[in-house]
Structure 1
Amino acid sequence: MTATSSPGGPVTAGVGTDVGTEVLADVAGRREEIVALCADLVAAPSVNPPGDTRQVAGVVAAALGDRGIDTRTEHTDPLMPSVLAGLDSGRPGAHLILNVHLDTMPPGDEAAWSVPVWELTRRDGRLYGLGMGNMKGAVAAMVTAVDLLEQRRGDWPGRITFAAVSDEVVFGDNGAAFLLRTHPDLLGDGLICGEGPGFERLALGEKGVLWLRVTAVGDPGHSSSVRRGASATARLAEAVRRVDDLTGRRGALPADLTAMADLTGVPGDTGLELTVNVGTVAGGTFIGQVATGATAELDLRLPPGLPADDAEQLVRDTLGDIPGIAVARIKGWDANWTSPDSALATSWQRAARTVRGAPHDPAVRLPASDASRWRQRGVPALCFGPQPTFSAGIDDHAEEDEVLRCAALYTLTALDFLHGTAGS
């Protein structure tokens, strides 16, 4: 998929130093309010599966209502509501979407946690609790940003829609997908998603996905008569070995992302590399028989510059000389990204200089997010949140100061972006 760029090209700065100083001061003055909202969010379980977000949706709607902002809920499954709020300046301009998700990953082994799972723990500059990294810290920051933008309604043109959606963790059909299908106006002209790529980086895009099923057949017989490489399991084992060796390959980096090739990155970051995970393996029927059938399911994560069709052909070519092997696609889509020169990315980096004194290093997120749904429809989308590492896990947490910085970044980016599209 080609990179997207927002309408009108790069913008000129529309937010002055004084505004940046005021927003930072406003956010700092709300520290305890933001932490309290984080506590309420953590205390509202929303693990997916099963994906029941009614309680946490109520927390978000109440928080916005307490700040004088009207909300509505939308759902296709009543257990999975999404909370929407619209701000309209009454003046021509772009439509910016501010997006977060309400559901969380499961906690894993709760006995391995050193802090309560469902209760906020504030310790050593960190806020612990399930979902704080992914992504209740971002929810609190974005609710704060919406409030600040509402209070400054006279300072920006266009429209803003806040969309706190359900069913993102499993990339399901009951959240953002449902909203875009039933309310196409929610595409907008740009999207900021609270999904963090980790390590204080700005995600311009995310890897594609390709799921393949590899099947092997072999000659039947008693195990005592087996020949080397003739059983389905032996053939599949060779196939698995070969596809595992494909991990680390790169495609031809698109022109607007070439600067990323020079970044040192962080250890373990495979955003620009192909990875192949053999997720499941099954074969044979009995230990004393030669296996006549075996299957492996592969999860390939595709970097920009390596389309799904090319990756599938690479697997087919790699396995083509193994007898009895067949490859079938389960599902897949290409990597997606937004140009670092787009108006939205330019506005973000200006805000970053105000908030932290330097722009954020760009990144390609490893897992998928709802932002891809907008990029695939040609809308520029950025991902940034207070998730500290690649993914949440045991002792899920966010840095308290980073949650506050996110609130300021969301606010200032929105102001800058909308100023640059005045009259459009």
Structure 2
Amino acid sequence: MSASLTERLAEAVDAGMPRARDDLARLVALRSVANAAIEPASECRAAATLVGELFSEAGVDGIHAHPTPDGSLAVVGRSGGPSGAPRVLLYSHYDVVPVGDPGTWSSPPWELTERGGRWYGRGSADCKGNLVASLLALRAVREVTGGWPVEVAVVCEGSEEQSSGGLEALLRAEPELAQCDVVVIADTGNVEAGLPTLTTSLRGTGSVLMTVRTMERPAHSGMFGGAAPDALQALLTALASLRGPDGETTVDGLEHGGSWMGEPCDPNRFREDAALLPGVEPLTGNGALGDLLWARPAATVLAIDAPPVAQVTAAVQGEARAVVNLRVPAGTDAKAAQDLLIAHLRAHTPFGAQVEIRAVSLGQGFQARTDGPAYAAMRRAMRTAFGRDAVTTGQGGSIPLATTFAELVPGAEIMLLGVEEPASRIHAPDESVDPEELRRTALAQALFLVELGGSTLA
């Protein structure tokens, strides 16, 4: 008896795993941080070139690196399918966050290293692992079907982690690049390894840079301390006002009583995933854990400029600054919330200090429509690939591109998935991907593309 289409796709994905590892190793080796102050811009250009070559080899037509307004390169291409077939756009990004201190990594961050059955390296999960899963799926579909069952478009971004809006601006200027019936945003992951997950809600985000000045220069703490207005203390006072004693974010005028109506968040799993120390408990405010994660605003101090302990001097500081990030639930206007944050910080800074605040990033939240045929097909594909029914979840992170697609192609079904799971430790030292998550995610995408094209997978 001949193998079924599902079996042949699974075999093709399995056979493609060694190539997938090689592709990921080549991508991880490129230090594609989209910030020339941290890594050379040539690294991102080399990554864009490699991504283009890989998608071209996978059979996608018209691949080219398209400049965007923020200076990054977006790799785009499109192959036609049968007449009247659905148009599917696959999104990922090749830029990564910085590695931080390499000494905190157990293996070289720019070298894909296998350890304990996982593949380690910066970007191995977020988002080069997702990119490779899509490549693996496309190769399997081409090998098994001999063509494209649907129209396939790819868009691979080069500055997603910077939130600088390059790709969003490009798509608004050239909306034909976004035209599709389905968008698969491969930039999230599963709530636990082996449990297929569709992310249906994203919080909006807005960061501000706050600078506080009280004196023209630092003043000796022995001579002036106590009477000299301390800029660092003024900054800390303003920052402390962003949270109530129960951890609830309390920005003046910003609603913070929302309730999460989706899958609840397991406190034990959260405690483990967040690596909380003994005796430290998750914050729940006056609600449930899921409320604070996905249904309410969250203000986080991302960085502070102040003298480091290693360079301490007996001085009252005349200037200090910080970056504050605000996350807001889907449905809350991120710009209005950011304006409230700025007003709050000004109002809560003491000593008559001079306060300068400027916005540095902004992205609206997103709520997916999940009742269409593509979602149903993806759920079936995930059930086959993972052996378990898919669940839905929210995500506290922001992917502004999801909102851009919703605006440019309002009739499209937009789904978010990926290879990431809690042990991946994205944005942290020792980021890694489980090869099984990559394989299963690739198989789910391959099954999805073939079924959406009208084939029977039994």
Answer yes or no: is the 8 Å Cα contact 1:278–1:297 preserved in 2: yes
2:372 matched to 1:365?
no
Mapped to 1, the partners of 2:114 and 2:213 lie a distance apart of: 56
User: Which of 257, 261, 265 pairs up with 1:258?
Assistant: 261
Aligned pairs for 1:57-136 (under 5 A) are 57-76=48-67, 80-136=72-128
Partner of 1:43: 29
User: Which of 240, 253, 278 pairs up with 2:301?
Assistant: 278
Partner of 1:19: 5
Mapped to 1, the partners of 2:55 and 2:226 lie a distance apart of: 71
Q: TM-score, normalised by structure 1?
A: 0.77
Q: In the superposition, relative to structure 1, how do residues 263 and 199 fare at CA in structure 2: closer, same or farther (>3 Å)?
A: closer
Mapped to 2, the partners of 1:175 and 1:321 lie a distance apart of: 36
Give the CA deviation at 1:318.
9.4
Give the CA deviation at 1:170.
0.9
Partner of 2:206: 210
Give the CA deviation at 1:115.
2.1
Once the two structures are overlaid, the 10-residue window that deviates more, 326-335 or 48-57, is: 326-335
2:337 matched to 1:299?
no
Give the CA deviation at 1:419.
4.2
Answer yes or no: is the 8 Å Cα contact 1:197–1:365 preserved in 2: no
Letter in 2 for 1:111: G
Give the CA deviation at 1:209.
1.0
Letter in 2 for 1:401: E
Mapped to 1, the partners of 2:230 and 2:300 lie a distance apart of: 23
Match of 2:299, SS?
strand
Aligned length: 396
Q: TM-score, normalised by structure 2?
A: 0.72
Mapped to 2, the partners of 1:102 and 1:218 lie a distance apart of: 42
**What stretches of structure 2 of length at least 5 have no aligned partner?**
250-255, 275-289, 307-312
Partner of 1:381: 414
Mapped to 2, the partners of 1:162 and 1:418 lie a distance apart of: 17
Match of 1:178, SS?
helix
Higher relative contact order (CA closer than 8 Å, sequence separation 6+): 1
Partner of 1:14: none
Once the two structures are overlaid, the 10-residue window that deviates more, 163-172 or 198-207, is: 198-207
Once the two structures are overlaid, the 10-residue window that deviates more, 24-33 or 61-70, is: 61-70
Mapped to 1, the partners of 2:94 and 2:57 lie a distance apart of: 19
Mapped to 2, the partners of 1:295 and 1:79 lie a distance apart of: 27
Mapped to 1, the partners of 2:357 and 2:257 lie a distance apart of: 22
Letter in 1 for 2:242: V
Give the CA deviation at 1:294.
7.0
Answer yes or no: is the 8 Å Cα contact 2:33–2:96 preserved in 1: yes
Match of 1:134, SS?
coil
User: Which of 345, 348, 355 pairs up with 2:385?
Assistant: 355
**What stretches of structure 1 of length at least 5 have no aligned partner?**
1-16
Once the two structures are overlaid, the 10-residue window that deviates more, 215-224 or 124-133, is: 215-224
Q: In the superposition, relative to structure 1, how do residues 67 and 294 fare at CA in structure 2: closer, same or farther (>3 Å)?
A: closer
- RMSD of equivalent CA atoms: 4.0
Give the CA deviation at 1:156.
7.0
Partner of 2:434: 399
Partner of 2:185: 193
Match of 1:48, SS?
coil
Letter in 2 for 1:383: L
Letter in 2 for 1:41: L
Answer yes or no: is the 8 Å Cα contact 1:84–1:163 preserved in 2: yes
Letter in 2 for 1:123: R
Q: In the superposition, relative to structure 1, how do residues 71 and 40 fare at CA in structure 2: closer, same or farther (>3 Å)?
A: farther
Q: In the superposition, relative to structure 1, how do residues 210 and 92 fare at CA in structure 2: closer, same or farther (>3 Å)?
A: same
Partner of 1:12: none
2:438 matched to 1:412?
no
Once the two structures are overlaid, the 10-residue window that deviates more, 341-350 or 310-319, is: 310-319
Mapped to 1, the partners of 2:56 and 2:345 lie a distance apart of: 57
Mapped to 2, the partners of 1:408 and 1:344 lie a distance apart of: 16
Q: In the superposition, relative to structure 1, how do residues 251 and 73 fare at CA in structure 2: closer, same or farther (>3 Å)?
A: farther
Kindly, what percent of the aligned residue pairs are identical?
19
Mapped to 2, the partners of 1:383 and 1:47 lie a distance apart of: 23
Q: In the superposition, relative to structure 1, how do residues 319 and 355 fare at CA in structure 2: closer, same or farther (>3 Å)?
A: same
Match of 1:391, SS?
coil
Mapped to 1, the partners of 2:142 and 2:93 lie a distance apart of: 21
